[in-house]
Amino acid sequence: MKPPQRCLTPTTVGQLKSYQSCIGLDLMLSETVHPKADIPNHPARRPTPDPGIRRTVSVTKTIVYEQPLNERTRTLLRLEHLFKQMAHHMRGGTVWDSRSVLTTLMDVLSIFARSDLKSEVMKEMERHTANLSRMKQVPGVDHERLEVVLGELASLTDRLYAQKGQTAAELRRNEFLKTIMQRSSIPGGSCDFDVPVYHWWLKQPVERRNAELNHWLSSFDLIAEAVDTILRLTRQSGNPNREIAEGGFFQQSLDANIPCQLVRVAVDERLPYFAEISGGKHRFTVRFIAPSADGRQVQAEQDIPFELSRCVI
């Protein structure tokens, strides 16, 4: 199996196709390259299937599995997951919703305490900006659309630079939140008798609880916007290709000179298997596993069709 091509600056439409497969340039191709390139699920955006292989992957009902291939992307995906979880429970009004928001907030604060995430996010924004700026010289690029994306990245970067101090430093000094965090490491440690002040707070009107929660969560608004933008651009950079996992196993080499941030695998939701992805700088593997009632996991013996996206930007 051939490793991904190295990205070269294209000077012809033919070379552009090779460049497109490396960095997902189809996101910004103008209509002079293909008039339907920006229409989701249009045949122009889908790879031509191998006529010798029967393809059964559904294009509308799939389960997507993602595997980050570096620590920075792994952290961003975890933050995205936690931000979505908090947003979901903020729509509820019960005591248990408020508890869930605060429990998730403790996880977010723990992640921010381990590293300077603000600097990491800014570095990633600047890396995206530099890579996308080089596309200005690529024939066939939709320059208007490219400028919109670069403007979005520039605005976010400027606002992050203008934000003084560490993100959520105020929350880490909040005595109420510190009390809950200290008890959160104990299973069931936030019971009513463990933290009476928490019990009292939960009995306050939902309007008051949500107002305070919104105030605390607003500390992450800018970082959450940046994380969403980075992951959106990363995911969009992947060009889906149809593959077959023979005997439930698939492996592919990666070009170390073209760092891949994320691998995405889309599988027909009707198949009784889940995808287990592992990988690093040089290669990744996909195994399709059948779960069972007793907890044992068995690799599929049949060939499994799926769609693979290597996200490189």
> Where in the chain are the domains?
72-231
pLDDT at 216: 96
Q: Which residue's entry shows tokens 């929350």?
A: 171
Q: Residues 184, 190: contact at Cβ < 8 Å?
A: yes
pLDDT at 280: 86
pLDDT at 193: 87
pLDDT at 240: 92
pLDDT at 293: 79
**242 phi and psi angles, rounded to 5 deg:** -85, 130
What dotted CATH number matches 72-231?
Answer: 1.10.3900.10
Q: What confidence tier does 3 reach under pLDDT thresholds 50, 70, 90?
A: very low
Window from 42-46, 155-159, 172-176 with minimum mean pLDDT: 42-46
Q: Residues 113, 169: contact at Cβ < 8 Å?
A: no
For 149-179, the DSSP string reads HHHHHHHHHHHHHHS-SSTTHHHHT-HHHHH
Could you give the strand order of the β-sheet that contains 262-268, starting from the edge strand earlier in sequence?
62-68, 262-268, 304-311, 241-245
Six-digit token string for 36? 């339907």
Q: Which helix (H) or strand (E) holds 64?
A: strand 62-68
Q: How far apart are CA 244 and CA 304, in angstroms?
A: 6
pLDDT at 2: 42
Six-digit token string for 286? 């996909």
Q: What confidence tier does 246 reach under pLDDT thresholds 50, 70, 90?
A: very high
Q: Beta strand 304-311 with 241-245: parallel, antiparallel or unpaired?
A: antiparallel
User: In 3-state terms, the chain is what percent helix, strand and coil (to 5)?
Assistant: 50, 15, 35
pLDDT at 159: 92
Q: Residues 183, 195: contact at Cβ < 8 Å?
A: yes
pLDDT at 285 over 80: yes
pLDDT at 60: 60
Burial 30-51 (b: 16+ CB within 10 A, else e): beebbeebbeeeeeeeeeeeee
Average pLDDT over residues 90-116: 93
